Structure 1
Amino acid sequence: MSWHFTHDLGAFTAAAGAHLAAEPARNTAVLTMMDGAELLGWWAGPDGAVTGVLAASPPAVLTFGVVPVEAAAALVLPDGADPATLRGETAAVEAYAGATELPWEPVMGIRLFRLGELTPRDPAPAGRSRPASTADLPLLRDWTADFARVHRYEPQDDYTDFLTERITEGRLHVWEDPDGRPVAMAAVSRAIEGQARVHLVYTSPAERGRGYAAGVTTTVSRVALASGAAQVLLFTDLANPTSNALYQRLGYRPVSDHLGVRFTPRP
């Protein structure tokens, strides 16, 4: 049993495609980031069957899909590279963190949810949703930077390309209040292997508690279903009981718990 690594997406999908297709929900993070990943890896048994996958993007951000505990504990990245951060299912992350000699600290507990039957908020929040436009970019850039800060993601200097891609593909929506002011946003990934993931759910701090996040999440959930996704997923911060309760009221159900950790570089 061993890890294999590549920088080539075609080689990765040729080796791990069956595994990714068999577990699209638990592999969602790898599926949605593999196009732009700097490094891709898979764990194969003696018979060649793949049972684990990972993806890494700069700067040293490592993400596990389904990874057996023994594979996580045996992981050594090419050229002795060390990750700065790691996210994945809790048992696998703890196994890698326990096996490495790097000091580490937990950053965030995360829960993966999957949509059962979509149950919109009743009564619906005031206002309406609409697709975001490039005219919204100045506001959406500020919101995205705050979203990244709150969720402890590695910050980017400029979110314009990230947001424009989602706007032009109709995957980013905003909620307007009755006066037509944008007050919340949410996005959804492309449908890959029958799954799509809701992300970037954010409400302007002054407008929270009015149901706007529920309204725009319902919209992008419908966009995901219309795109052909058989499974609509999202991640939540376990430390935020409000968002966890919200998504369950909308019909999302827990799948698995995940953990994000940060490593201290070697001296």
Structure 2
Amino acid sequence: MSPEDPQDSHGPDGTDGWQLTQDLDGFLDRAGGFLASRPDLHTVALTVTAGLRRRGLRLYGDEAPFFGTLTGADGSVRAAFFRTPPYPINVTPLTEEDAEALAARLVSAGHRLSGVAAESDTASAFAAAWRRRTGAETVGDPERQRLYRLDQLVFPTPRPPGAPRIATDADRAQLVRWYREFCVSVGEDGLQDAGAWAADRIAYGGITLWETPDGTPVSMAGVTPEVVGQVRVFPVYTPAELRGHGYAGAATAEVSRAAPAAGATEVLLFTDLANPTSNALYQRIGYRPVADFAVYEFVMRDL
């Protein structure tokens, strides 16, 4: 695909269509206002594209990312997607008709997809359209996620002994090790290079450690950089042998307190719905559900 691919697929009235591109700046020029209109539902698109702009287009892999917008008859953007290969395509909420049109557009452009991540109804509709268009199969059951927004923060009780501290360069080796362990725990070999990830988080103060009274780090909670007022808590990790003491809840509560104090208007996080412990924890400290999401994995087929 060329950096700018202006050929659109049109709806029944011939007035709207999907435009695909590898031009990140052009995509954000077109879709930025639309993404900012719902920073909660669009949090992943906002934070990932901000990261690509800040750290380079090869942040998530050697293959160039690509993007798309769906424009209505009035010229306004009403849906968007991005993909950072080899990860699934991430799509904003779509109707079934728009999901079908997107699948058709991607097939016609010769794209292969490893999966789709989106709001649950959209993910299901797109996965079905992709199966019809390509013969691809989905692997097992989809991963079910829930997006939460911070309402009224409630610090967990009892509070574990110790205190929070922003990670610094002196913590780099610890962060690299814990990030790698976190990736394994969520079924990823590596969301991105661990050393580069740690350096970036340290640079903007994006990781908070919970330390015991003797200064030993026992848990970490991170936040993404603020984009149009929203931040997302990610990752939260406690080594297996240190769990069950309330460290993760305390670290999460601290970053949830600090983000609004620094100017964020929305604090968000995702949970795996298969993990009742984390879902209960976040609700206890003041997070409330926004929407459910799903991730489908595809068996790759030649188009």
Fold in common (TM above 0.5): yes
Corresponding position of 2:196: 161
Deviates more, 1:131-140 or 1:90-99: 131-140
Deviates more, 1:199-208 or 1:37-46: 37-46
TM-aligned CA deviation for residue 154 of structure 1: 5.1
Corresponding position of 1:50: 77
Against the structure 1 CA distance between its residues 204 and 73, is the aligned structure 2 distance closer, same or farther, given a 3 Å change threshold?
same
Residue of 92, 107, 119 corresponding to 1:89: 119
Corresponding position of 1:69: 96
Residue 24 of structure 2 corresponds to residue 9 of structure 1:
yes
TM-aligned CA deviation for residue 216 of structure 1: 0.7
Report if the CA contact (8 A) 1:110-1:257 is conserved.
yes
Structure-to-structure mapping, 1:28-177, within 5 angstroms:
28-35=43-50, 36=52, 38-75=65-102, 76-77=105-106, 79-100=109-130, 101=134, 102-105=136-139, 106-153=141-188, 155=190, 158-177=193-212
Structure-to-structure mapping, 1:203-222, within 5 angstroms:
203-222=238-257
Deviates more, 1:110-119 or 1:81-90: 81-90
Against the structure 1 CA distance between its residues 143 and 90, is the aligned structure 2 distance closer, same or farther, given a 3 Å change threshold?
same
Corresponding position of 2:280: 245
TM-aligned CA deviation for residue 70 of structure 1: 2.5
Unaligned runs of 5+ in 1: none
Report if the CA contact (8 A) 1:51-1:66 is conserved.
no
Corresponding position of 2:9: none
Report if the CA contact (8 A) 2:116-2:126 is conserved.
no
| AA matched with 2:101 | A
Against the structure 1 CA distance between its residues 157 and 27, is the aligned structure 2 distance closer, same or farther, given a 3 Å change threshold?
closer
SS of aligned partner of 2:228: coil
Deviates more, 1:172-181 or 1:248-257: 172-181
TM-aligned CA deviation for residue 134 of structure 1: 2.3
Deviates more, 1:180-189 or 1:33-42: 33-42
Deviates more, 1:60-69 or 1:24-33: 60-69
| AA matched with 1:93 | A
- Flag as ranges the 4+ runs of structure 1 deviating above 6 A: none
Query: Take 1:44 and 1:123, find their aligned partners in 2: how far apart are those partners?
Result: 51
Unaligned runs of 5+ in 2: 1-15, 58-64
| AA matched with 1:47 | D
Residue 269 of structure 2 corresponds to residue 234 of structure 1:
yes
Residues 128-174 of structure 1: CA distance to partner in whole angstroms, max 9, x if unpaired?
A: 11011222222222221222222223525731111211111111111
Residue 31 of structure 2 corresponds to residue 19 of structure 1:
no
SS of aligned partner of 2:109: helix
SS of aligned partner of 1:187: strand
Against the structure 1 CA distance between its residues 157 and 15, is the aligned structure 2 distance closer, same or farther, given a 3 Å change threshold?
closer
| AA matched with 2:236 | V
State the number of aligned residues.
267
* RMSD of aligned Cα (Å): 1.7
Query: Take 2:87 and 2:240, find their aligned partners in 1: how far apart are those partners?
Result: 31
TM-score of the pair, normalised by structure 2: 0.83
TM-score of the pair, normalised by structure 1: 0.94
| AA matched with 2:181 | D
Query: Take 1:195 and 1:56, find their aligned partners in 2: how far apart are those partners?
Result: 21
Deviates more, 1:153-162 or 1:6-15: 153-162
Report if the CA contact (8 A) 1:171-1:223 is conserved.
no
